[in-house]
Chain A
Amino acid sequence: MTSGTRRTGIEKAMKTVLLISALASVLIVLLIFIFTMKEATPAFREIGVWKMLSDTTWRPGNDQFGILAMIAGSGLVTLGAVLIGVPLALGTAVFLSEIAPCWIAGIVRPSIELLAGIPSVVYGLFGMVVLVPLVRTIPAPGNAGYGLLAASIVLAVMILPTIANISEFAIRSVPKGYKEGSLALGATKWETISRVIIPAAKPGIISAVVLGLGRALGETIAMIMVIGNSVILPTAITDNPLSIFLSRARTLTGNIAVEISYATGIHESALFATGVVLFILIMLVNGSARFLMKMGVKS
């Protein structure tokens, strides 16, 4: 064999190897979906997909398997986390990329990375010991501290590093020319940040938020520890609609984790069905983010 044909051989082999690595993740996602779906099928068939999605009562002993309360729980806690976490993360990102002197950024950035490395169970502990008692001081009948608010705060801190990191990168990637162009027109630093830099970094910021959303929807143990885990459709506990966040709740992930160890039969299948719903929810979030990003790029 000449060296030429040997090199072409290696080329081809490498191409195949790389293709297989790329396909592996696609395959794994497919496999996970198929097997979860397979386990969930009995529940979907016997209970009915719509019945599961629209019923708020989850009583496995009674053969009642409605997961709407958990969908609401996951949705609300994620919403809360985004409302608290995104402004904080964006503020951090803008500060680190545009405002902080090197030495301050040198302290803040590693701290945020450290935050990303803390195991979620430790966040849960922190939430139980610090946040729950703090939330409990809010005067409202039935407020036990455990609930959506404490969970949202914990979750906000957990998604902060992801969103801050990726947003900072997106902001740093904005061409220097935009900034100079804006300043040269007499814009102040803040005007430049808000009118040119952040809009230009928007696609990156959106993907950062979506990655955060994905993490928030998937978070399990820390949620179990602070959210209260009652299977109820969260409602406002006082006249103030915001007090809905003082309500206890359960997340889709928490539902699976809490009950899977002892569930059998249709109950077990219903938990897999919960997993399928979670899976689809996350796909929807990612899909809409892609769509939003495309729209952002176009305009």
Chain B
Amino acid sequence: MEAERAEKTRMMTEDYSLFYGDFKALNNINIKIPTNKITAFIGPSGCGKSTLLRSFNRMNDLIPGVTTAGTIFLDGRNVAREDVVELRKKVGMVFQRPNPFPKSIFDNVAYGPRLHGTKNRSDLAVIVEKSLKRAALWEEVKDDLHKSGMSLSGGQQQRLCIARAIAIEPEVILMDEPASALDPVATLKIEELMNVLKRNYTIAIVTHNMQQAGRVSDYTAFMLTDEKRAGNLIELGPTKQIFTTPSDSRTEDYISGRFG
């Protein structure tokens, strides 16, 4: 079963390019995000990895002047044709800076389920408990569910945001440098959590931290800007292979710290 699932592709881009006005930020990206694996996107600042990640749940729609070419698929369906609300239900996101709402811990986690129709308080309580447990936060907050989510520490806030994201049972979780604002202990917790979460979810993570990519991911995608400053995918492969025997010399240069 596990092996069979590993073969599957959850998300995929096909000749995907993205423009900010006239400026091409992503150039012809072809990538596959395998189901129930962690795929890490690494590369120097400005290489477009966050932009690409935000394309998977169409967060770039919010930015005026953005146009795209090519296609992104979720389970074989073109995300551009999906209802964006439905798409974001299936593709959740965790941001760089923990962004809990100024609401109670309970209401933060219940926010998504409420939006999507769960009104019954006891149903919500079940979802909240389950999500907080999955996000490894339950034990720390179970007596303080009414407290503001903002009162938690940075690491706890980020796990709250993860709980909030998984409360609506997405298929994919996108993580945009989820630990870059956290201290090493909190970072480690998030990484451990990701390893558990991949049993149920497909995870794509953008990270500046190559050790982190090496530690947590199954696959690594290396991105780099070309001479016109457009982001290109240089190579994608099993993390071990990318870190030990990359096929492109630029990947090797980056991994070994020669630039970036």
Interface residues of A (CB under 8 A from B): 175, 177-178, 180-188, 191, 195-196, 199-200
Closest B residue, CB atoms, query A296: B102
Complex alpha-carbon distance, A50 and B236, angstroms:
83
Question: A186 — which chain B residues lie within 8 A by C-beta?
Answer: 85-89, 112, 115-116, 168
B117 to chain A, nearest CB (A): 11
B140 to chain A, nearest CB (A): 21
CB–CB A182/B111 < 8 A: yes
CB–CB B102/A184 < 8 A: no
Contacts beyond the supplied A184-B59, A184-B88: 5 A-B pairs with Cβ under 8 Å: A178-B102, A184-B165, A185-B165, A186-B88, A186-B168
Question: A188 — which chain B residues lie within 8 A by C-beta?
Answer: 85
Complex alpha-carbon distance, A128 and B96, angstroms:
57
CB–CB B102/A195 < 8 A: no
CB–CB A185/B88 < 8 A: yes
B119 at the interface (CB under 8 A from A): no
CB–CB B112/A185 < 8 A: yes
CB–CB A181/B59 < 8 A: no
B169 to chain A, nearest CB (A): 11
Contact A187 B115, CB 8 Å, known A180-B59, A196-B101? yes
Question: B92 — which chain A residues lie within 8 A by C-beta?
Answer: 184-185
Question: B62 — which chain A residues lie within 8 A by C-beta?
Answer: 180, 183
A185 to chain B, nearest CB (A): 4
Question: B112 — which chain A residues lie within 8 A by C-beta?
Answer: 185-186
Question: B103 — which chain A residues lie within 8 A by C-beta?
Answer: 199
CB–CB A184/B57 < 8 A: yes
A190 to chain B, nearest CB (A): 11
Closest B residue, CB atoms, query A102: B64
B99 at the interface (CB under 8 A from A): yes
Closest B residue, CB atoms, query A176: B99
Complex alpha-carbon distance, A146 and B96, angstroms:
59
Question: B57 — which chain A residues lie within 8 A by C-beta?
Answer: 184
- A-B pairs, top 3 by smallest CB distance, nearest first, are A177-B99, A184-B93, A186-B88
- Residue among B57, B59, B112 facing the most chain A CB atoms (10 A cut-off): B112
Complex alpha-carbon distance, A73 and B163, angstroms:
53
CB–CB A175/B99 < 8 A: yes
Question: B111 — which chain A residues lie within 8 A by C-beta?
Answer: 182, 185, 187, 195
